[in-house]
Amino acid sequence: MFDYTRGTVFLRDAFIPFKDANISIASSPVLYGLSIYTVFGVNWNASEKKCYAFRLRGHYRRLVNSARIMDFCSFADAWPYEKFEATMCDLVRQNEINEDVLVRATVFADAIIAGTKIHNLPHVLAAYAYPMGEILPRSGVHVCVSSWTRNSDNAIPSRAKVNGGYVNACLMKNEAILNGYDDAIALDGQGHVTEGTVANIFLVRNGVLITPSTSFDLLEGITRDSIMNIARNVKISVEERPIDRSELYVAEEVFFCGSSARITPILSIDKRKVGNGAPGAITKKLSREYNDIQKGISQDVYKKWLTEI
């Protein structure tokens, strides 16, 4: 397995050893969480001996949007897409990746003791690769509905992947683990389902794939968008709409999805079995399609999602 602690990372316009990639304890991201990020998958195709980055342009676009929301005004000008793609691909090549990995790209305010100021601070890009692993068991998880409420768009917008905002997710995850669950589902201030701690959520009722609208304080997930596209292409109906807590208990299937979680079946919610307590047919079908697409062994219609490295 790739040992990222001995690998090469990108920081402040240079490739350097992981052990040398440090920032000050008095810096804005450490003191105030002033950083944004994205995580994208790089998948190894063993038969072709090639790596494919999944939806790299989409991840870049979301990073730019997060920067706009956070007023990291210099990022988009300093990092056009072509430069970002070349740097991320070079990072993978320098680490001689031949397995599935994730790449975490972060933009942070590179300032010392700047207080809560954001505007006109210098911003830099950092990135490193690490093994894909399992952020959640791929066989399925047992979850609870969190007692913590998802932070609203007018507090810390979930539409932006702001590092400091993940304190909210950490509190939910911690509560879930302490109570014997694998993860948690978040509700918004009006009691509607939003997402998991680090993944979007889908449920199936009467053969229809349902997910909360992006107006419900959740991340505009790239895997979420991919799943909806895949589902429509295999003739599965998709709805984006409000979901109440009680609808989780009567769904035939429920699953999380994300770059790190991939597609993770949810087997029970608040100790109530989902369906028959095993991954459902639609969940398994979408998971197979998604995994094949990431490795470049699926239909040509999805080739535009892949960046060959």
**141-294 has the same fold as 4-131:** no
- The answer on pLDDT for 253 being more than 90 is yes
- The answer on pLDDT for 298 being more than 80 is no
pLDDT digits (tens, 9 = 90+) for 210-226: 999 999 999 999 999 99
Q: What is the mean pLDDT of residues 64-92?
A: 96
Q: Using alpha carbons, list the distances in angstroms from residue 273 to 69, 140, 175, 268, 285.
A: 39, 12, 20, 4, 20
Q: How confident is the model at residue 19 (pLDDT cuts 50, 70, 90)?
A: very high
For the chain, give the percent of residues with pLDDT over 70.
100
Q: How confident is the model at residue 250 (pLDDT cuts 50, 70, 90)?
A: very high
Residue 301: predicted pLDDT: 82
Q: How confident is the model at residue 69 (pLDDT cuts 50, 70, 90)?
A: very high
CATH entry, 141-294, from 3.40.50.10790, 3.20.10.10, 3.50.50.60, 3.40.640.10: 3.20.10.10
pLDDT digits (tens, 9 = 90+) for 182-210: 999 999 999 999 999 999 999 999 999 99
Q: How confident is the model at residue 295 (pLDDT cuts 50, 70, 90)?
A: confident
Residue 299: predicted pLDDT: 66
Q: How confident is the model at residue 297 (pLDDT cuts 50, 70, 90)?
A: confident
- The answer on pLDDT for 44 being more than 80 is yes
Backbone angles phi, psi at 97, to 5 degrees: -70, 130
Q: What is the mean pLDDT of residues 115-132?
A: 96
Top-confidence residue, 52 or 296: 52
Q: What is the mean pLDDT of residues 245-256?
A: 98
**Domain 4-131 adopts which CATH fold?**
D-amino Acid Aminotransferase; Chain A, domain 1 (3.30.470)
Is the CA virtual torsion 283, 285, 289, 294 positive or negative?
A: positive
For the chain, give the percent of residues with pLDDT over 90.
95
Q: What is the mean pLDDT of residues 30-59?
A: 96
Domain range list for the chain = 4-131, 141-294
Residue 263: predicted pLDDT: 97
- The answer on pLDDT for 256 being more than 80 is yes
- The answer on pLDDT for 284 being more than 70 is yes
Residue 73: predicted pLDDT: 85
Residue 304: predicted pLDDT: 93
Q: What is the mean pLDDT of residues 72-98?
A: 96
